[in-house]
Structure 1
Amino acid sequence: MSDAGSTVPGSTAISGDTVEEGQSLDVRLAGDPGQVDPADVVAADAAAREFVARHEQAAHRPQGEEIGRALVVVVDDEAAHGEDQRLLGPLVGELLAEAGFHVDAAVVVSGDEVEIRNALNTAVIGGVDLVVSVGGVGVGARDVTPEATEPLLDRRLRGIEEAIRSSGLAAGATDGGLSRGLAGISGQTLVVNLANSRAAVRDGMATAAPLAKYVIESISEF
């Protein structure tokens, strides 16, 4: 049986369960000590410190600290849905703030595919961490938010999409449950489509916000 401090040839060993402030990590490179480049030791120590700091950051984030920047895009389609969706922008902003996001703005666009895509793309280019769109995810002729969103996404996050739909149906928010809304990553930004009723917004945000935190933290690691 090997000693606790032994290493496999060619591997790097990091000893110690915890690292106190000002204390160096014990990094040992296996093999012939005469062939170890001191620069490799320094690099390994730095990499280990970065790993520990990155993965402890989320666990030790003070309560109320902002997670990132967010922007709301409200697709205004009063004629089709009979509800002034401009009123939903402040609601989404309030829920985002409660979840720990700084809301840059809530913008209103028409139910036009190009206009929706431009608004989403502008937010992505602007470097926000999360974009939440509201409206245009149903089955009507003017419901084109998913079509506007999909070309911008580098990766679909179907788990978030299905979680929002499932929770919407369970909560009785029919439009949320039947939503065609998408969720995915565009560059370094998470994009989420929600339906346009207050019930769907509240339920969708309750479901999406915790998942959004995890996604944003994961994106920021790379």
Structure 2
Amino acid sequence: MDKIKIGIVVASDRAFSGIYEDLSGEAIKEVIGEYILNPCEYAYRLIEDEQKHIEKALIELCDFEKCDLVVTTGGTGPAVRDVTPEATFGVCEKMMPGFGELMRQTSLKYVPTAILSRQTAGIRGQSLIVNLPGKPKSIRECLEAVFPAIPYCIDLIGGHYIEANEKNIKVFRPKS
């Protein structure tokens, strides 16, 4: 079974400066750990909400760390310092807008302010980048919605084969 490399980028001025503890990075690890049977190696970055820092982290994780999946959290709202989608657009060769559409649709079941979210996803090389919301509960809800398509997407871009834990999540791969 292939080892899967997962990049986690937490874009948060307050967590970066120590005002509060980052809970979202751990929430991502917890959910991914429930969904993937492969051994996983995590590369974690806690950075400020600045486009150049986010872009640098995404490039490092995709090009040098060779992550199959890079998940960001934070910086997807309409506030002035929310620039994670812009950083994602800035480094990706292909955008995958369906991920953001499904995450917003899912989140709207819980909060009407989900329409303010600008989450997206894209491909850089052999890495899939997915922007998630910042709250642990929302991270779980959104990953539950989009994860069924993630392993096949990673197959299509030449990443490692992800074995899903079918007890916790059903993934879809077309029969060949």
- Report the TM-score when normalising by structure 1: 0.63
Cα distance in 2 for partners of 1:131, 1:175 equals: 25
**Structure with bigger RCO (C-alpha 8 Å, 6+ apart):** 2
1:183-217, CA deviations, whole angstroms, 9 ceiling, x for partnerless residues?
Answer: 01111100001111122211111112211111012
**What amino acid sits opposite 1:204 in the alignment?**
C
Number of matched pairs: 153
Is 1:215 the counterpart of 2:124 in the alignment? no
Residue 86 of structure 1 is matched in structure 2 by 22
Q: Secondary structure at the match of 2:108?
A: helix
Q: Which residue of 2 aligns with 1:52?
A: none
The match for 1:108 among 18, 40, 46 is: 46
What letter is aligned with 2:23?
L
Matched, 1:129 2:68: yes
The structural deviation recorded for 1:95 is 0.9
Residue 192 of structure 1 aligns to a residue whose secondary structure is strand
Q: Unaligned 5+ residue runs, structure 2?
A: 160-176
What SS does the corresponding residue of 1:220 show, helix, strand or coil?
coil
Q: Deviations over 1:92-131 (max 9, x none)?
A: 0111121116142322001111111101110001211000
CA contact (8 A) 1:155 1:184 kept: yes
Q: Is 2:90 the counterpart of 1:154? A: no
Residue identity over aligned pairs, in percent, reads 31
C-alpha separation between the residues in 1 aligned to 2:87 and 2:157? Answer: 23
Q: CA deviation at 1:178?
A: 2.8
Q: Following the alignment from structure 1 to structure 2, what is the Cα–Cα distance between the partners of residues 95 and 184?
A: 20
In the alignment, does 2:140 pair up with 1:202? yes
The residue matched to 1:119 in structure 2 has which SS? helix
Instruction: State the match for 1:70 in structure 2.
Output: 6
* 2:120 counterpart of 1:145: no
Q: Any stretches of 5+ residues in structure 1 without a counterpart?
A: 1-64
1:8 aligned residue: none
Moved >4 Å (runs of 4+)? 173-177
Cα distance per residue 1:132-183 (max 9 Å; x no partner): 000000000110111111011111111111111111112x145555311120
Residue aligned with 1:214, SS: helix
Q: Which has the greater radius of gyration?
A: 1
